[in-house]
A and B are shown apart, each in its own frame.
Chain A
């Protein structure tokens, strides 16, 4: 009786210790996925095309101080120096596209649920308040691009910066 009690007690204490133990040493990280757009045949009218990407994994295991994900972008440009203004490039993150993989059920929330134009100023799309978002989460943002009627033919590229940050 006493032996079995001791084993159970040990197991319970060990579980408690594990639950409150110091989180393994790691740091906040994000792993993005490529963003792609379909090929467009220019027709002299504005065309709205949807981008696609797969889940971006934010690993915030052990992170309790609050964190956020921001995006900036430059204009699209081609080798001939023609550009498409970044204001035509939009992003949103639906709350339903934030999925908890492991950890805190109080997952980060979207701060941009409707499409907003990207720019050179960081746009926050998701954040976790202090004490929340301690876990691994998949974020799948939606992108769309308005190809203006006056766009020149050619292959365009843009640089998007995705940042995950910890701060007040």
Chain B
């Protein structure tokens, strides 16, 4: 019986392994490479993806990064440390080599020491690169973010011979992969957000695109949920749209752009923006003026008495791609739970059936 079990297990495992190999063999000769931690703390799931360390000022820590060449050809990559910055639309990203953050993580890259700045890796191989984090003695409490980046040489853009009066445009592409190194320095943590402004950027067939500038005034990574509301100049609410505020690094400002599924007719409006963050705190900006003329925003909204026509919001007729319940089901953990729960339930029912049958046979004997 045990032999049968092991045989079946081996067969399934082999089948899955073969499937996995053929699925990852599509890389071809294009550069495909990455970097990730070599170790993780099971109590902190994020450490499976990026580096997170709590370190006292003046302390040092040695860690390792794994650099992988997942293509079939050898590749030479630059490897360097950079400051962490906030991307437009939020989230952690990394500037070009040598560029410094203008926010709270300025010069955190200098806390990292790497033994090399370039490495050549044969196709399908990986290299472990140790690095040291040296936290300055005067490091302030809170989150400090750096990144380790691997970068491939630029791919050349093609320019053909052009004729008289003709102009061509070529684009060369540099591919980079970055992994965050989050250093938590113990001490008082402050959470704070400020909304620096909001604008109507444009209107198109997709709706009205707004921008909101957010500044993280605290010393920890912060994300939140935003709500933008549109009012007439008389204070009547016409429409609202939620938006997700992805992470803003401490001391950074970021601009978020999002498109609301409605159109604003020519007129003057007032915009209120609120962001809920850190377990219920709310940052607000009320009464930003927006004017729309010929369907597009104007930079200075005139006073309401100069409005050309009454403000009207037309809701977009674009259908939602998912129904509410399905959206919740798909975006929550319920789908994953269901996928795992189904075979367990089948197994349990099967087990009960077998045991019941066995018990019945035993009783009859």
Contacts and interface: CB of A to CB of B under 8 A. Distances in A.
B87 A16 contact: no
B16 interface: yes
Given A12-B347, A163-B176, A24 B20 contact: yes
A155 B1 contact: no
Contact of B177 (A14, A16, A17, A163): A163
A99 interface: no
A160 B171 contact: yes
A133 to B, nearest CB: 11
Given A14-B9, A166-B178, A26 B340 contact: no
A161 interface: yes
Contacts of B48: 64-65
Given A35-B173, A165-B177, A3 B167 contact: no
Q: Is the interface on chain A under 10, 10 to 19, 20 to 34, or 35 or more residues? A: 35 or more
B167 A157 contact: no
Interface stretch (B22-30, B230-238, B284-292, B309-317): B22-30
A97 B12 CA distance: 35
A61 interface: yes
B167 A29 contact: no
Contacts of B90: 111, 124
B180 to A, nearest CB: 3
Given A14-B9, A20-B340, A31-B30, A122 B93 contact: yes
Contacts of B201: 114
Given A26-B68, A165-B94, A131 B333 contact: yes
A130 B46 contact: yes
Interface stretch (B107-115, B129-137, B155-163, B294-302): B155-163
A70 B24 contact: no
Nearest to B255: A121
A34 B171 contact: yes
A85 interface: no
Contact of A6 (B4, B95, B330, B339): B4
Contact of B145 (A26, A66, A167): A167
Contacts of B160: 39
Contacts of B175: 30-32, 161-163
Given A29-B33, A72-B96, A168 B167 contact: no
Contact of A155 (B30, B126, B168): B168
Contacts, number: 284
Interface in B11-69: 12-13, 16, 20, 23-24, 27, 30-36, 45-46, 48-50, 66-68
Given A161-B176, A162-B173, A162-B176, A6 B5 contact: yes
Given A32-B173, A130-B46, A159-B172, A26 B167 contact: no
Given A7-B8, A167-B147, A155 B167 contact: yes
A26 B27 CA distance: 13
- The A contact surface, by secondary structure, is mixed
B46 A168 contact: yes
Contact of A163 (B8, B70, B94): B94
Contact of B339 (A18, A19, A72): A19
29 contacts: A7-B4, A10-B4, A12-B343, A13-B347, A14-B12, A15-B12, A15-B343, A16-B343, A19-B339, A27-B36, A29-B33, A32-B175, A35-B157, A39-B166, A40-B166, A65-B46, A113-B259, A122-B93, A123-B87, A124-B90, A124-B93, A147-B169, A155-B159, A159-B174, A160-B172, A162-B176, A163-B175, A167-B145, A167-B147
Interface of B: 1, 4-9, 12-13, 16, 20, 23-24, 27, 30-36, 45-46, 48-50, 66-68, 70, 84-85, 87-96, 126, 145, 147, 149, 154-155, 157-160, 162-163, 165-180, 182, 201-202, 204, 206, 209, 221, 246-247, 257, 259, 321, 330-331, 333, 335, 339-340, 343-344, 346-347, 350-351, 354
Closest 4 CB pairs of A and B: A65-B49, A27-B34, A167-B180, A167-B92
